[in-house]
């Protein structure tokens, strides 16, 4: 045998195995830990850095930060910011019920009876009669078997989606659906698909291709879209959900108090039986001038949510005063349809005047929410600031809240705005929109490079 391949002795073999073991251990040993103290500071967070860059650009363009402005009085059709009285188009108080005597009286009674907090989740120690009364009123509004109210509208929607759907299911939602729907869909673990805004042919094609792969399929849309101010074709959606054995949820947070002769929402505006929709989702913070959210539907779905939705089971119950405010506001809405009529008249006036002035209102139907499209973010911020200087508070909506290139000012109309408020606001907006037409991020960046 060739000596090159002679077998090792026992001692040699043992020595070789020992060396191999040491070498192997060294090869797989973790590298010395590298401390990264920069990641203990949130100043290095990419989102924070992006915010700082945006603020720097705004400062260079002499644009003030429009966020978290301090209101010094109850904000409705008018408000006071920095000691200045302003006509306010940034309030959800559509029917002017914030501060209504009946609402104040109901809140005062609830405070005296129950205090400010229910101190625990409703499932353990937080149930109060006013919760059940509010839920019964909401269920009655939609002809539903039952309703559930959450302490937060956003968390309520997220909890509902995350509880009702799972990995074997599919959630299909309008591309312009509110963030709460997108977040809830992600947390549910269900498959997710979006369809182009109000494109029901695309939705039908999607359902034809995908439906059979899943157990439950939930279709989600809004009754009045919060950024664009338009409505879906509810009858078409109902037909699609029935044809594909799906469940339909409509978020009518902005439709309540706004749409329909009595303000009941999109179903009333379009002459639809509300029971044709499986789940109605809404908030108590807009027309109902309180805080929180609700879902109406069958007894089974509400029972399921009351015992399994994290936003109900693991959250403190809604305060009795907040529930009383919402219940009282709903009672006033039903008793005083003239408020709805005034809101609709004001909305139509603003929408008509804005379009006549050459302002781009997109697909808005002129019902409480009227966007004025500007395009570039910097231009929208500048326009909002110029309006504020001239006595009008209208909030700029910019990416990522809306798609790139679609920045806008969003005007919320209320029943308490006057004709003078509206006429003046439209005239000033048209004038200042022309003044900022040439302002863009590219212009500002070119100035920076020139320095």
| Catalytic residue list | 226, 254, 286
Distance (Å, rounded) from C-alpha 323 to C-alpha 114?
A: 11
Distance (Å, rounded) from C-alpha 150 to C-alpha 131?
A: 10
What is the rounded radius of gyration, in angstroms, for the C-alpha atoms of the chain?
Answer: 28
Q: How far is CA 391 from CA 222, 414, 435, in A?
A: 32, 17, 17
Q: How far is CA 196 from CA 204, 284, 325, 382, in A?
A: 11, 28, 37, 30
DSSP letters, 314-340, are: TSPPPPHHHHHHHHHHHHHHHH-HHHH
Q: Torsions phi, psi of 51, nearest 5? A: -60, -45
Distance (Å, rounded) from C-alpha 388 to C-alpha 84?
A: 10
Q: Is the dihedral of CA 80, 84, 90, 96 positive or negative?
A: positive
H/E stretch holding 306 reads: helix 299-308
């Amino acid at each position: 045998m060739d000596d090159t391949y002679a077998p090792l002795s026992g001692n040699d073999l043992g020595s070789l195995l020992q060396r191999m073991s040491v070498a192997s251990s060294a090869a797989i040993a973790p590298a010395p830990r590298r401390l990264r103290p920069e990641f203990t500071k949130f100043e290095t967070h990419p989102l924070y850095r992006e915010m700082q860059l945006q603020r720097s650009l705004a400062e260079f363009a002499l644009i003030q930060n429009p966020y978290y402005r301090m209101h010094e009085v109850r904000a409705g059709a008018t408000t006071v910011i920095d000691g200045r009285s302003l006509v306010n188009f940034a309030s959800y108080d559509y029917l002017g019920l914030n501060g209504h005597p009946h609402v104040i009286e109901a809140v005062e009674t609830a405070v005296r009876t129950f205090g400010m907090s229910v101190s625990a989740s409703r499932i353990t120690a937080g149930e109060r009669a006013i919760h059940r009364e509010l839920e019964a009123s909401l269920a009655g509004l939609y002809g539903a078997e039952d309703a559930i109210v959450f302490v937060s509208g956003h968390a309520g929607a997220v909890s509902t989606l995350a509880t009702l759907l799972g990995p074997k299911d599919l959630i299909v939602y309008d591309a312009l659906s509110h963030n709460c729907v997108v977040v809830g869909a992600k947390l549910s673990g269900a498959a997710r698909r979006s369809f182009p805004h109000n494109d029901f042919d695309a939705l039908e094609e999607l359902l034809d291709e995908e439906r059979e792969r899943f157990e439950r399929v939930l279709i989600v849309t809004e009754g009045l879209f919060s950024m664009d101010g338009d409505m879906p074709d509810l009858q078409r959606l109902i037909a699609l959900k029935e044809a594909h054995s799906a469940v339909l949820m409509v978020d009518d947070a902005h439709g309540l108090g706004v749409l329909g002769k009595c303000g009941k929402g999109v179903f009333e505006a379009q002459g639809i039986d509300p029971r044709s929709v499986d789940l109605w989702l809404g908030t108590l913070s807009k027309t109902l001038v309180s805080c929180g959210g609700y879902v109406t539907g069958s007894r089974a779905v509400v029972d399921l949510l009351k015992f399994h939705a994290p936003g109900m089971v693991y959250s403190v119950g809604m305060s009795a005063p907040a529930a009383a405010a919402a219940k009282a506001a709903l009672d006033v809405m039903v008793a005083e349809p003239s408020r709805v009529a005034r809101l609709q008249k004001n909305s139509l006036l603003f929408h008509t005047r804005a379009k006549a002035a050459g302002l781009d209102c997109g697909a808005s139907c002129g019902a409480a929410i009227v966007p004025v499209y500007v395009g570039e973010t910097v231009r929208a911020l500048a326009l909002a600031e110029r309006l504020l200087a001239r006595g009008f508070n209208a909030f700029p909506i910019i990416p990522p809240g809306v798609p790139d290139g679609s920045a806008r000012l969003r005007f919320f109309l209320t029943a308490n705005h006057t004709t003078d408020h509206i006429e003046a606001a439209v005239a000033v907006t048209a004038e200042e929109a022309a003044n900022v037409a040439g302002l863009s991020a590219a212009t500002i960046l070119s100035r920076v490079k020139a320095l």
